[in-house]
C-alpha cells in the first residue's frame, strides 16, 4: 500500500508534465534572457534611496547611492519628476531635488506639509518602499515687514541658525559668491553651527488677518526667497487687495514659526517709471527713477498701448534686475510692431508713469 501511494502521485506528476501543464526550471529563450539582462542593467542604473531625513515640515533630506541623472533634477521635467516620488499620506514633492554643495548624492527635497509622528513611505521610481517619520517642525522666521502697498517679506537670518537652500546647493553655488557654503552630515558649517534649511518656497503661501477682521491668503512671489543676498521672500496679497495704512496685519504660516508676526501698515509711495528701451522685438528694459535695492519688480506686469490703437502686455523677467533696471517680456507670444510707439502703463498700480514711451525697433 505504501509503495502504491508513492507511485501514483509520481505517475500523475509525470502525466501533468507530459501534457505541458507545469514546467520546472525551463531554460530561458535567448530573447527572454536578453530582455531580462536589459531590465537588470536598467535597474542597476537607477539611483536608489539609502536614507531619508525630515528636516522640517516642508523639507526632506534624501541620500541616494549615487547622483541623480540630469533629467531627474531638471526643472523643465518637474511634472514627470513628481511621479517618481510616490508617498503615502497624500505627501508629494513641490520642486526638483537639489544636490547639496560638497555632497555626491545628498539632496534637499521640498514637499507638501508633513504630519508629526506619521509614518510615511516613499518609493522612488517604483523601487522598494523606504520608511521615515514625519514632523510638523517649522522654520524659524524672525519677523515680517511691509515693502509695498500689496507686498511684505518674511525675514530669517543665518545668525539664528536658518539658511536658505540657495546658499547650500550645488546648482546655485557659482552665482552665490561668498554667500555659498557647505554643510557636514549633521548640517553644520565649518564653525560648527547647525542650520535648519528653508527649501523651495514654490507654491507656498501664508495667511493674513487684519485688525479689522479681514482675512486672505498671500502667495509667495517666485525667485525672491534669496534675492539680493537676503533671506527675505516676498508674499503678495490677492490682486486688487491693498494693505491699509494704520491697520495691523498678523501673518501665520503652516511652515514657519514667526517670532514677530505683526506689522502696522503704512502708506508706501509707488515706484516711478523713468524710461523704457527696446531690447529686441519682444522684450525691453524698464527703468525706475530710483534703485529699489531689492527685486520689487518681481511678479509685475505692464500694458503697452500702441499709437496705432494696438495693445500688448508684458511681464517682468524674473531675476533680471540690475539696479533700477529690469527686463520685461511681451506675453502670449506677442511682438512689437515696427515703427509703432508704445506708452507704458503699470498694471495694478504698482508704479506710476508719466509719458513713458517705448519706441519699437
Q: Does residue 231 or residue 13 have the better pLDDT?
A: 231
- Per the structure, the complete domain to which residue 228 belongs is given by 140-264
Residue that is last in its domain, among 233, 249, 264: 264
22-56, pLDDT tens digit by residue? 433 445 455 544 444 444 445 568 999 999 999 99
Residues 39 and 78 in one domain: no
- Contacts of 160-164 with C-beta under 8 Å, sequence gap 24+, read 161/193, 161/194, 161/195, 161/196, 162/195, 162/196, 162/197, 162/198, 162/231, 163/195, 163/196, 163/197, 163/198, 163/231, 164/197, 164/198, 164/225, 164/226, 164/231
pTM for this model (two decimals): 0.85
The arithmetic mean of pLDDT across residues 292-306, rounded, is 94
**For the segment 59-109, what is each residue's pLDDT rounded down to a tens digit?**
999 999 999 999 999 999 999 999 999 999 999 999 999 999 999 999 999
Confidence of residue 1 (pLDDT cuts 50, 70, 90): very low
User: What is the Rg, in whole angstroms, of the alpha carbon atoms belonging to the chain?
Assistant: 29
pLDDT value of position 17? 36
Of 264, 290, 322, which residue is a domain's last?
Answer: 264
The CATH number that applies at residue 122 is 2.60.40.1220
Domain end call among 113, 133, 153: 133
Query: What local confidence, expressed as pLDDT, does residue 31 receive?
Result: 53
Same structural domain for residues 144 and 244? Answer: yes
Beta 59-64 vs 256-260: how paired, if at all?
unpaired
Number of domains present in the structure of the chain: 4
The per-residue pLDDT of the chain, averaged, comes to: 90
Cell of 107: 539632496
Answer yes or no: are the C-beta atoms of 86 and 120 closer than 8 Å.
Answer: no
Could you report the per-residue pLDDT of 243-284, keeping only the tens digit for each? Answer: 999 999 999 999 999 999 999 999 999 999 999 999 999 999
**DSSP annotation of 26:** P
Residue 145 shares a structural domain with residue 200: yes
H-state helical runs in the chain: 2-19, 30-45, 78-82, 173-176
Same domain, 238 and 192: yes
Please give the grid coordinates belonging to residue 346. 503699470
Please answer whether residues 136 and 116 qualify as being in contact, where contact means their C-beta atoms are separated by less than 8 angstroms: yes
Whether 169 and 155 map to the same domain: the answer is yes
pLDDT band at residue 18 using 50, 70 and 90 as cut-offs? very low
- In tens, the pLDDT along 159-172 reads 999 999 999 999 99
What pLDDT is recorded for position 360? 86
Helix (H, G, I), strand (E, B) or coil at 149: coil
Indicate if 162 and 257 belong to the same structural domain. yes
Q: Please report which confidence band the pLDDT of residue 361 belongs to, taking 50, 70 and 90 as the band edges.
A: confident
Same domain, 113 and 175: no
On whether both 151 and 231 belong to a single domain, the answer is yes
Same domain flag for 238 and 251 = yes
Dihedral sign for Cα 298, 299, 305, 310, please: positive
**How much is the pLDDT for 236?**
97
Contacts of 273 (CB under 8 A, 6+ apart): 286, 287, 288, 289, 344, 346, 351, 352, 353, 356
Amino acid at each position: 500500500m505504501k509503495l502504491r501511494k508513492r507511485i501514483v502521485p509520481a505517475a500523475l506528476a509525470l502525466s501533468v508534465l507530459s501534457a505541458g501543464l507545469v514546467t520546472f526550471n525551463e531554460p530561458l529563450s535567448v530573447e527572454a534572457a536578453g530582455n531580462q539582462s536589459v531590465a537588470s542593467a536598467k535597474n542597476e542604473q537607477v539611483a536608489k534611496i539609502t536614507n531619508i531625513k525630515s528636516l522640517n515640515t516642508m523639507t526632506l533630506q534624501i541620500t541616494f547611492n549615487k547622483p541623480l541623472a540630469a533629467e531627474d533634477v531638471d526643472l523643465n521635467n518637474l511634472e514627470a519628476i513628481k511621479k517618481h516620488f510616490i508617498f503615502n499620506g497624500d505627501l508629494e514633492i513641490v520642486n526638483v531635488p537639489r544636490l547639496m554643495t560638497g555632497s555626491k548624492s545628498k539632496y534637499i527635497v521640498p514637499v507638501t506639509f508633513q504630519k508629526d509622528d506619521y509614518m510615511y513611505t516613499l518609493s522612488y521610481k517604483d523601487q522598494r518602499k523606504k520608511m521615515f517619520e514625519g514632523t510638523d517642525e517649522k522654520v524659524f522666521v524672525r519677523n515680517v515687514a511691509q515693502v509695498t502697498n500689496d507686498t511684505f517679506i518674511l525675514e530669517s537670518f543665518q545668525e539664528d541658525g536658518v539658511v536658505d537652500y540657495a546658499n547650500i546647493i550645488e546648482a546655485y553655488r557659482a552665482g552665490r559668491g561668498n554667500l555659498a557654503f557647505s554643510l557636514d552630515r549633521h548640517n553644520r558649517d565649518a564653525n560648527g553651527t547647525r542650520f535648519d534649511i528653508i527649501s523651495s518656497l514654490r507654491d507656498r503661501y501664508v495667511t493674513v488677518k487684519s485688525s479689522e477682521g479681514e482675512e486672505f491668503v498671500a502667495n509667495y512671489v517666485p525667485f525672491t526667497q534669496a534675492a539680493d543676498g537676503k533671506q527675505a521672500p516676498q508674499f503678495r496679497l490677492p490682486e486688487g487687495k491693498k494693505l491699509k495704512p494704520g491697520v495691523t496685519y498678523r501673518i501665520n504660516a503652516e511652515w514657519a514659526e514667526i517670532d514677530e508676526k505683526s506689522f502696522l501698515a503704512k502708506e508706501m509711495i509707488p515706484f516711478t517709471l523713468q524710461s523704457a528701451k527696446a531690447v529686441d522685438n519682444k522684450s525691453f528694459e524698464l527703468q525706475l527713477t530710483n534703485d529699489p535695492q531689492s527685486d520689487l519688480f518681481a511678479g509685475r506686469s505692464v500694458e503697452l498701448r500702441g499709437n496705432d490703437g494696438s495693445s500688448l502686455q508684458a511681464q517682468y523677467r524674473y531675476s533680471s534686475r540690475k539696479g533700477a533696471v529690469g527686463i520685461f517680456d511681451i506675453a502670449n507670444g506677442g511682438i512689437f510692431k515696427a515703427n509703432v510707439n508704445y506708452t507704458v502703463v503699470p498694471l495694478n498700480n504698482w508704479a506710476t508713469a508719466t509719458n513713458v514711451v517705448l519706441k519699437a525697433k
